[in-house]
């Protein structure tokens, strides 16, 4: 009888919940996996956590560490301690981490030091800005991961430049899988566009949360200026991240003329994206989701790890005067990335532990 492989999935932030949902469905269909989810608690607000699990039909976390707040060192250290304790008891066949958060780094370090294979989904991404904590997290996670699952050929080249060539695979983008799934549900389950009295195709959806913008007065002031300039053209909707809300108050900046809401659930966000005329964001994930909905994006940063969206004309950095000519991004696959990931993980573990 074929071995059932035990996967421990580490998540903590809402984009990771979305990605984890696609792999959880793929694991279930594959039939040779048993998965347990660890929620570090990094995103603790119900709109940023609990609702996502319900909307995406993600299995309830087997463990919740309830770790949030504090500086990067304190948060990551507490997560590392908590995950190490879980791994000591659970001893899974592999630990699965996503993206570039403190939860990702803590999970990767804990597993690597216990000689448990680390699978990194969205490996190889680089913004080449070491001032971003996310860049540090993704670089370190890649260098201690066992199996690196990459969304694009560029990410594979980035890894090769750093000397990482073994167990590297181009799988496509699991977020595209998630978007296709959401499209089937959002149009019937979300009424957010009507609730906000928005005219489809005549508003911009914005998000702001990165520390480089919220913690720097000059950057945050520039963000507010960009949003207000766009609000002179059309409605701008900004689901307000708790960090951003606190930073605006701290810096004495206002959002007059901009429609603000509490953080929205995943299906509501997908519905807002699908009927927007423009996306304005500093989020890496939303840059791609804008493309998946074929909506132009303005990124409130001077660099991006998702260079394909810029090169193919769907995204522009705020220092760039115009968009490149639009073309389809073949790199991200056809919506089967999660299935490809599951097959690769299974084949790797099968040969590792026959």
Q: 214 — phi, psi (to 5°)? A: -75, -30
What's the start-to-end Cα distance of the chain, in Å? 11
Side-chain half-sphere exposure of 150, counting CA atoms within 13 A: 25
Q: 86 — phi, psi (to 5°)? A: -65, -45
Q: Is 115 a catalytic residue?
A: no
Which residues are CB-neighbours of 62 under 8 A, at least 6 positions away? 36, 37, 38
Closest CA to 282 of 234, 215, 191: 215
Whether the CB-CB separation of 64 and 41 falls below 8 Å is answered with yes
Q: Which two tokens stand for residue 320?
A: 């760039």
From the candidates 39, 43, 120, 209, which is the catalytic residue? 209
Helices (H), the chain: 14-30, 50-55, 72-90, 102-113, 133-144, 153-161, 174-189, 192-195, 211-214, 217-231, 242-251, 266-274, 284-292, 307-311, 337-352
Which residues are part of the catalytic machinery? 209
């Amino acid at each position: 009888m074929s071995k059932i492989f035990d996967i421990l999935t580490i998540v903590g932030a809402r984009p990771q919940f979305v990605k984890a949902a696609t792999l959880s469905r793929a694991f279930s269909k594959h039939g040779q996996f048993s998965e347990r989810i660890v929620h570090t608690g990094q995103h603790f607000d119900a709109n940023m956590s609990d609702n996502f699990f319900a909307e995406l039909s993600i299995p309830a976390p087997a463990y919740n560490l309830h770790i949030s707040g504090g500086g990067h060192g304190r948060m990551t250290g507490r997560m590392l301690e908590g995950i190490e304790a879980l791994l000591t008891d659970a001893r899974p066949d592999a630990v699965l981490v996503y993206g570039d958060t403190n939860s990702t780094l803590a999970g990767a370090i804990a597993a690597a030091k216990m000689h448990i294979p680390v699978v990194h989904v969205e490996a190889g991404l680089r913004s080449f800005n070491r001032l971003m904590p996310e860049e540090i997290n993704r670089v370190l996670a890649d260098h201690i991961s066992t199996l690196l699952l990459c969304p694009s050929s560029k990410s594979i080249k980035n890894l090769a430049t750093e000397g990482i060539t073994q167990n590297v695979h181009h799988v496509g983008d699991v977020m595209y899988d998630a978007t296709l799934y959401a499209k089937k549900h959002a149009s019937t389950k979300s009424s957010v566009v009507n609730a906000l009295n928005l005219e489809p195709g005549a508003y911009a959806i914005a998000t702001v949360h990165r520390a480089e913008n919220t913690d720097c007065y000059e950057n945050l002031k520039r963000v507010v200026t960009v949003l207000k300039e766009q609000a002179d053209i059309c409605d701008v909707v900004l689901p307000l991240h708790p960090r951003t809300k606190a930073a605006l108050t701290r810096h004495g900046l206002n959002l007059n003329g901009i429609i603000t809401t509490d953080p929205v659930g995943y299906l509501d966000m997908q519905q807002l994206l699908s009927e927007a005329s423009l996306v304005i964001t500093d989020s890496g994930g939303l840059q791609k989701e804008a493309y998946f909905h074929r909506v132009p994006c303005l990124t409130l940063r001077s660099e991006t790890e998702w260079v394909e969206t810029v090169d193919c004309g769907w995204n522009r950095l705020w220092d760039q005067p115009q968009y490149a000519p639009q073309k389809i991004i073949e790199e991200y696959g056809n919506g089967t990335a999660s299935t490809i990931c599951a097959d690769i993980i299974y084949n790797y573990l099968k040969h590792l532990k026959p």
